[in-house]
Structure formats: structure tokens, C-alpha cells
């Protein structure tokens, strides 16, 4: 997984073949940080520029807002349980 330059566009590039090819997934938000679940390899939390916390259980292919007005560095993988 790669993030594009947010000054150009907000997208994730996801590879399922160890980097031989990538599929682009455009995002409706700008990612400041990502946190991967320690046990579920497809589960990701993303913290956005506008202080929203998003979750994906499809390795970044689709996202949903979990919480708003989240303080930076004040979230962890237990946030997944709040929505799933």
C-alpha cells in the first residue's frame, strides 16, 4: 500500500501481487496517519486532516467514518470494535 502525494491527489495505491501492479483508490479525505490492526491484516484506521477517524476492513478499498473530532495520536485498534 502506498499513499499518493496529497498536494496532487488523495489516493491509495494497493498491490495484491507484491508490488508488480497497483490499483488506485481515490479518497474523499486526506490521510495524516494509518494504523494497521495487529491481528486482522485487512483492517486499517486512518486519521484525517480534519480530525476524523476512518476505518476500513477491506485493506483501504472502502472507508467509513468511525469518530469525529479525534485528537491526534489518541486512537488505537479498539476503535474498530465501536463500529463492527
Q: In a structure prediction context, what are the per-residue pLDDT tens digits for the chain, which is 84 residues long?
A: 998 887 788 999 999 999 999 999 999 999 988 888 888 888 999 999 899 999 999 999 999 999 899 888 776 666 555 444
Longest dimension (CA), the chain: 38
Contacts by residues 60-66 (CB-CB < 8 Å, ≥ 24 positions apart):
60/1, 60/12, 60/14, 60/25, 61/14, 61/25, 63/27, 63/28, 63/29
In the chain, where the domains are located: 2-83
- pTM for the whole structure: 0.79
Amino acid at each position: 500500500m502506498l499513499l499518493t502525494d496529497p498536494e496532487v491527489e488523495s489516493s491509495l495505491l494497493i498491490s495484491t501481487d507484491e508490488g508488480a501492479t497497483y490499483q488506485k483508490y481515490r479518497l474523499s479525505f486526506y490521510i495524516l496517519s494509518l494504523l494497521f490492526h495487529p491481528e486482522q491484516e485487512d483492517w486499517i484506521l486512518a486519521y484525517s486532516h480534519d480530525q476524523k477517524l476512518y476505518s476500513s476492513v477491506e485493506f483501504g478499498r472502502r472507508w467509513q467514518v468511525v469518530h469525529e473530532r479525534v485528537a491526534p495520536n489518541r486512537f488505537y485498534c479498539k476503535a474498530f470494535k465501536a463500529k463492527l
